[in-house]
Chains A and B, each alone.
Chain A
C-alpha cells in the first residue's frame, strides 16, 4: 500500500498509450477505455490543485472540473453495477474521493474567512455563548473577591497568590511611595516592544489553555479563572490598603479591559464546550462537542487578536501615559468598543452557501 506513494516521489513513471478500444474483449473494459481520458484529465487537475490551490490551474480547467468530477462519479456508479475490475473500481473510488475534497473542499480562502470573521462571525459567536460568558464573569468576580478576602484575613496568602516575579517590591507592608513607583511610566519606548511581544505570547498561551481545558467539562477553565482573578484581588487589596485604589485601577484599566475581557471569553469558550458535553440535550455528545468546539474556536481566534491589542496597550500606552484620567480614557474607550462590537453590532449573517 505504501509502495505507490514512494514511487510517486521518484519521478513520473512513463505513461503508456492506452490500448485501442476495439481490442478490449470485455464490455466493461471498453466502457473504461472510452472514459479513462476524462478520468486522467480530472486526476491531473486535482493533483495540481492539491499542490498549490487554484493558482496552478487555468480557467478552462476550473470550468471543466465539476463536469469531469460528475463524469467520474457517474462512471463509478455505472462501473459498480457492470464491472468486476477491482483495480478500476478502486482507482475510481480514490479519484472521486480526491476530487470531492477539491470540489466541495474548504475553498473559502483564509482572507475570505477572516473578513466574514471580523464582519460579524466573531461577535455572533460571542453572543451565542452569552450564558457561558455570564457564568465566567460571575466566577471571575467571585475569584477577585476570594483573593481579596483571603489576603485581608491573613497577609501570608499574598505570597501564595502572587508569584514571586510580580511581587518584587509590591508586597504587604510596602510604603505608598514604593507602590506608587510601580505604577509609574517609562521615559522612552525602548525595550517596550519586547515587553509587548512576550506579554502577548504569554497571555495568549494562558487564554488558549483556559479554552483547551474546557474539554474536561469546563471545570479546569473555571479554576484557572479563579486562580488568575484571586491574584488580581490580592493586588487590589494591597494597593487599596495604601490608598492607591484609583491609581491602581487606572493603571490596570489601560490594557485590563481588553485583556480581562479576552480571558473572560477564553474561559467562557472552554466552559461552553465542557457544558455542552455534560448536557448535550437532544444531540449526541459528539455532535454537541463538535458544534460547540467550532463556535469556541471562532471566539478563540478573536481572543488571540485581543491579546495582541492588550499586549501593545500594556507595553506602550500604559508605560507612557501617566495621568489617571488618560489611562481611564484609553481603558474605558476599549471597553466601550468591545461591548459595542460584541453586543450592539449585529450584521446580517452573510450566507456562505454550502
Chain B
C-alpha cells in the first residue's frame, strides 16, 4: 500500500473515525457510534424490554385466569398448572434480564433492536471476530451498570431504603458518564469485553455523475446548446476538496443553491457569469475538473485543495 491510501494522515477526517485493516491490507474507516445514538438505542431497548415483559405478564394472567375457570372451585387441579406458569414466569424474567441483549448481539447484525433502529452495532475492538465470550462479558456488566442502580433508583423516592437511593444514583452516574472519559466512548462492559459500538453504515450507491447532463455530452448544455470547455489554467484553480463540495451540491439536487457557486467559480476563473444555465455549467466543470485531477493522480500528483 502506498502512503497515499493511508487515511490516517489525511486531514479533514472526522474525529470519531477509527480504522480497521482487513486481512487484504485495506484500511476501512469505521465511525464510533455517537453517545446520543447509544442513549437512544438503550432507551428503545428498555421500551421493548418492558413492553415484552408486560405483554407476557398479562398473557400469563390471562392464561392463569383460564386455569382457574377450567377447574372451577377445586384448587387441587389448579396448583400444578399454576405452578408451571409461575416457573415459566421466573425463568422468563431471568432470561429477559440476561438473555435479551446477549441473544440479539450474538446474531448476524450484532445489535439489539434499539441499536438496529438507530443504525449502530457492536464490534470487536481489535478488529477480529466478535466472539460469544465478548458478548457475554459485556452484557454481564450491564447488570451492575444499569439494572442494579435502576432498582436502587426506583426505591429511592420512597425513602424506605435510606441512603441506598443516593448511593444508587451515584453508582448509576459513574457508569453513565464512563463513556465520556475515554476517547473511544467505551462503557465498562466494553472495556471488559474488548468491544466497541460503531455505526453500521447503510449507504446506497449513488448515480454516476459523468453519465448525465452536460458531463456526458462533453460539456454541451441540453438547455441552451452552449458548449463549456475549460482550459488547463482554468481547471488548475481548484483541488479535490472543492471537487467534493461541488459533487455534493450536484447530488443534492437543489437548483437554487447552484447560482452562487456558479457565480463564484466564474469570477475565480475569469468568466462572465450569466444566468439560466448553471447546472450544465457546473456539471461540465465538475466532469472536466475531475478528469484533470484523476489524470494527475495517475502520475502521482494530488492537489488537496485550492491552496495546495
Binding site for B on A (CB under 8 A): 2, 4-5, 8, 16, 18-19, 23-29, 32-33, 36, 39-40, 43, 49-53, 70, 73-74, 76-77, 80-88, 90-91, 93-98, 100-102, 104-106, 108, 110, 113, 190-191, 193-194, 196-198, 200-201, 204-205, 208-209, 211-213, 215, 273, 286-287, 289-298, 300-301, 304, 354
Chain B neighbourhood of A287, CB < 8 A: 194
B137 near A296 with CB under 8 A, answer yes
Selected from B26, B203, B207, B216, the residue in CB contact (under 8 A) with A4 is B203
Given the known interface contacts A74-B24, A297-B140, the answer about A84 and B240 at a Cβ–Cβ threshold of 8 Å is yes
The interface residues of chain B lying within 8 Å CB-to-CB of A298 are: 133, 136
A204 and B90 contacting across the interface, CB-CB below 8 Å: no
**Chain B contacts for A289, CB-based, 8 A:** 191-192, 194
How far, in whole Å, are A86 and B294 apart by their CA atoms in the complex?
Answer: 12
Tell whether, in the assembled complex, residue B202 and residue A113 are in contact, meaning their CB atoms are under 8 Å apart. no
Task: Decide yes or no: A82 and B216 within 8 Å by CB, A212-B141, A289-B192 being known contacts.
Answer: no
- In angstroms, Cα B215 to Cα A301, docked, is 61
| Distance between Cα atoms of A49 and B108 in the complex (Å) | 7
Q: Which of A19, A40, A52 contacts B211 (CB 8 A)?
A: A19
Taken together as a complex, chains A and B put the C-alpha atoms of A90 and B251 apart, in Å, by 14
Are B119 and A194 touching (Cβ within 8 A)?
no
Instruction: Quote the shortest CB–CB distance from B247 to chain A (angstroms).
Output: 6
Q: Which of B91-111 contact A (CB under 8 A)?
A: 91, 93-94, 98, 106-110
A193 to B81 Cα, complex, angstroms: 12
Q: Which residue of B lies closest to A110 (CB)?
A: B106
Cβ-defined contact, A96 with B28, below 8 A: yes
Quick check: B144 and A209 within 8 Å, CB to CB? yes
Report if A290-B211 is in contact (Cβ < 8 Å); known contacts: A70-B24, A97-B30, A100-B22: no
In the complex, are the beta carbons of B204 and A91 less than 8 A apart?
Answer: yes
Q: Convert B97-139 into 0s and 1s, putting 1 for each residue whose CB lies closer than 8 angstroms to a CB of A.
A: 0100000001111100000000101010100111111101100
Top 4 nearest A-B pairs (CB, nearest first) are A290-B194, A293-B192, A94-B201, A297-B137
Complex contact B129–A4 (CB within 8 A): no
Min CB distance B288 to A, Å, is: 9
- Which residues from chain A contact B287 at a C-beta distance below 8 Å? 25-26
A-B contact number at CB 8 A: 232
- Please list 10 pairs of residues, one from A and one from B, whose beta carbons are closer than 8 Å in the complex, sorted by A's number: A25-B291, A77-B5, A101-B121, A104-B129, A105-B129, A106-B130, A106-B132, A201-B90, A209-B148, A294-B131
List chain B residues, Cβ under 8 A from A201: 90-91, 93-94
Would you call B297 and A82 a contact (CB within 8 A)? yes
Known: A5-B119, A293-B193, A297-B140. A197 touches B205 (CB 8 A): no
In the assembled complex, how far is the CB of residue A39 from the closest CB belonging to chain B, in whole angstroms?
7
CB atoms of B205 and A36 under 8 A apart: yes
Chain B nearest Cβ from A269, distance in angstroms = 9
Whether the pair A29, B130 counts as a contact (CB closer than 8 A) is no
**Cβ 8 A contact of A88, one of B26, B107, B205:** B205
With A50-B108, A91-B203, A91-B204 already in contact, the answer to whether A84 and B140 are too (CB < 8 A) is no
Interface assignment of B209: CB less than 8 Å from any CB of chain A: yes
Contacts A94-B203, A208-B143, A286-B191; is A84 near B26 (CB within 8 Å)? no
Among the interface residues A70, A85, A90, A290, which one has the most CB atoms of the partner chain B within 10 A?
A: A290
In the docked arrangement, what's the CA distance between A212 and B119, Å?
Answer: 28
- A351 vs B24: C-alpha distance in the bound complex, in angstroms? 23
> Given the complex, which residues of A lie within 8 Å of B91, measured CB to CB?
197, 200-201
Partner of B129, one of A85, A106, A200: A106
Q: A23-B216, A29-B208, A97-B28 are in contact. Are A84 and B294 (CB under 8 A)?
A: yes
Report B-chain residues with C-beta under 8 Å of the C-beta of A96.
22, 26, 28
Most B CB within 10 A of own CB, among A25, A197, A298: A25
Contact assessment for A106 and B131 in the assembled complex, using a CB-CB cutoff below 8 Å = yes
In the complex, the chain B residue whose C-beta lies closest to that of A196 is B87
Q: Does B227 contact A (CB under 8 A)?
A: no
A2 contacts B148, CB within 8 Å? no
Residue contact A290 to B206, C-beta cutoff 8 Å: no
Chain B residues, CB < 8 A from A18: 208
Which residues of B have CB within 8 Å of A49?
A: 108
Is B243 interfacial (CB 8 A cutoff)? Answer: yes
Selected contact of A297 from candidates B2, B133, B243, B247, CB within 8 Å: B133
Whether B210 and A26, one on each chain, are in contact in the complex, defined by CB atoms closer than 8 angstroms, is yes
